Amino acid sequence: MRVIVVRRGNAMTRRTIAPAKGRLGILLPGMGAVSSTFIAGVELAKKGLARPVGSLTQFQTIRLGKRYEDRAPLIKDFVPLAGLGDLVFGGWDIFEDSMWDAALKAGVLGEHQLAPVKDELDAIVPMPAVFDQAWVRNLKPLQAKKGATKLALAEQLIKDIEVFKKTSGADRVVMIWCGSTEVSLEPSAVHETIEAFEKGLKTNSPDIPPSMIYAYAAIRAGVPYANGAPNLSADIPALVELAEKNGVPIAGKDFKTGQTMMKTVIAPALKARMLGLKGWYSTNILGNRDGEVLDDPGSFKTKEKSKMSVLDACLDTKRYPELYGDYFHKVRIDYYPPRGDAKEGWDNIDIAGWCDMPMQIKINFLCRDSILAAPIVLDLALFLDLAKRAKLKGIQEWLSFYFKCPQARPDLAPEHDLFIQHMKFANTLRILMGEEVIDHSGLDYYEPEMGTSAPAPAPKPYLKEKKKLSARVRA
């Protein structure tokens, strides 16, 4: 038999991806509002009692090939992902609450909504955490591991991962940090190489916070790791090096959910239209435990840095000093207990147009923090597992889409624009599956010799094609 390989434009050879066979374990350091909302949502969805809205892995399609081909499978049918039914959960916390108690305390979903999965949530109880109050000052631990050195604590976590795999029947595991935001830390010599880092673990370096111990344990155990908070965690040269060496995908930092997601939509729009920016004032109130932690100036500083970084990057301030060189930017987060997880954010944006005439944009986002974060946890878990099976290693820049402060190679400026991030993401999936990369120029339809993808034949006859298109759009 002769096999004829038809090369579709710039399509590459499909990557060999191991199948998503068996159970996928999702381990969560930090089992508070986000984790309990995430697990509850997945368990409800497994029973068909709730929809995992906001999740690209569950709802989004991906366009393939030429526009007239009308090929747009669901992402989950295009790439081999673990199914919701194959997911099992575990994690660590300083509180002993089961996921049922944690979900009730977080108050994101009501007791009546959670009731059908009470048994499943009751069965998930956090393991004792690696914790140090120096890094999260507003919380007092009820259960924490003891060890003579930080390396000994990491070894205990690795043991926990092994035990979890056995007891849950998980064939593969990923870890997503959903723990509190740690006090701000600048990278230093101990973070530079894996030798220095491991020496620091053995000698209890004060510059290694718990989130780095979890990241180290995950990477050593071959477990993909993502960081949902803004603290450095795996974003240090030593752990990037270890991840590359061990063939482990990593991603971070800080889930991009409410106000910052809106910033990375509006700021690129201002820049695309060359509208000036005079000032951007953002303030939030929230009353959950995350808000309580962020009430400490040390933790707030970490979050503030993460939230502040996006505007300069989206506006490319250095290239456009006349329009964006001197804007005022302020971010506030106020702990306001009555609101619980139902955060409210206000943005006042002062912009300038033709002849420098001032204009304003106001955004009032009444969001629910954990409701926006839960689908991100699901997608990251499924995509990191895919990345591991596809033998991708180290920083997964294509997952920048999910983060406020995307981890990138030190010589590359991280991409913040939500739509460029999305293009990066979709093209990575196309490349993995050997499909043509879409550059969106459209030149392949109008100036075939100029396009970067395969030239498209001209449509004919005109009216018949138009009718076909409108029927497709209506369908």
Ligand X SMILES: NC(=O)c1ccc[n+]([C@@H]2O[C@H](COP(=O)([O-])OP(=O)(O)OC[C@H]3O[C@@H](n4cnc5c(N)ncnc54)[C@H](O)[C@@H]3O)[C@@H](O)[C@H]2O)c1
**Segment interacting with ligand X (CB under 6 A) among 24-32, 68-76, 191-199, 244-252:** 24-32
Site residues for ligand X, window 172-201 (CB under 6 A)? 178-181
Shortest gap between Cβ of 101 and ligand X (angstroms)? 11
Report CA-CA distances (Å) from 214 to 9, 287, 368.
Answer: 43, 27, 27
Nearer to ligand X, 255 or 327 (CB): 255
- Contact with ligand X (CB under 6 A): which of 259, 282, 284, 370? 370
**Segment interacting with ligand X (CB under 6 A) among 93-101, 148-156, 379-387, 454-462:** 93-101
Distance, C-alpha 393 to centroid of its chain: 16
- Asked if residue 252 binds ligand X (CB under 6 A), the reply is no
Shortest gap between Cβ of 51 and ligand X (angstroms)? 19
Nearer to ligand X, 28 or 429 (CB): 28
334, 436 contact by CB (below 8 A)? no
Shortest gap between Cβ of 93 and ligand X (angstroms)? 4
Shortest gap between Cβ of 32 and ligand X (angstroms)? 2
Nearer to ligand X, 229 or 433 (CB): 229
HSE on the CB side for 156, CA within 13 Å? 18
**Segment interacting with ligand X (CB under 6 A) among 145-153, 188-196, 254-262, 467-475:** 254-262
Shortest gap between Cβ of 150 and ligand X (angstroms)? 12
435, 11 contact by CB (below 8 A)? yes
Nearer to ligand X, 68 or 95 (CB): 95
Nearer to ligand X, 31 or 315 (CB): 31
Nearer to ligand X, 270 or 405 (CB): 405
Residue nearest to ligand X (CB): 32
- Contact with ligand X (CB under 6 A): which of 89, 131, 216, 383? 131
- Asked if residue 373 binds ligand X (CB under 6 A), the reply is yes
Task: Say if residue 461 is preceded by a cis peptide, omega within 30 of 0.
Answer: yes
Distance CA 146, CA 78 (A): 45
253, 280 contact by CB (below 8 A)? no
Nearer to ligand X, 192 or 292 (CB): 292
Shortest gap between Cβ of 290 and ligand X (angstroms)? 4
How many beta carbons lie within 10 A of that of residue 270, not counting itself?
A: 21
- Contact with ligand X (CB under 6 A): which of 254, 347, 379, 415? 254
- In sequence order, which residues have a C-beta less than 8 Å from that of residue 342 and are 6 or more positions away? 286, 366, 367, 368, 369
- Asked if residue 345 binds ligand X (CB under 6 A), the reply is no
HSE on the CB side for 282, CA within 13 Å? 19
Tokens standing for residue 473: 């759009």
Shortest gap between Cβ of 277 and ligand X (angstroms)? 24
Report CA-CA distances (Å) from 441 to 222, 444, 446, 462.
Answer: 40, 8, 10, 22
- Of the candidates 126, 38, 27, the one whose C-alpha atom is nearest the C-alpha of residue 368 is 38
- In sequence order, which residues have a C-beta less than 8 Å from that of residue 145 and are 6 or more positions away? 128, 129, 130, 131, 153, 156, 157
Distance, C-alpha 216 to centroid of its chain: 19
- Asked if residue 89 binds ligand X (CB under 6 A), the reply is no
- Contact with ligand X (CB under 6 A): which of 9, 25, 30, 224? 30
**Phi, psi angle pair for 205, to nearest 5°:** -55, 135
- Asked if residue 93 binds ligand X (CB under 6 A), the reply is yes
**Phi, psi angle pair for 388, to nearest 5°:** -65, -45
Give contact residues for ligand X (rule: CB under 6 A): 29-34, 92-95, 106, 129-131, 136, 139, 178-181, 210, 228-229, 254-255, 257, 288-290, 293, 369-370, 372-373
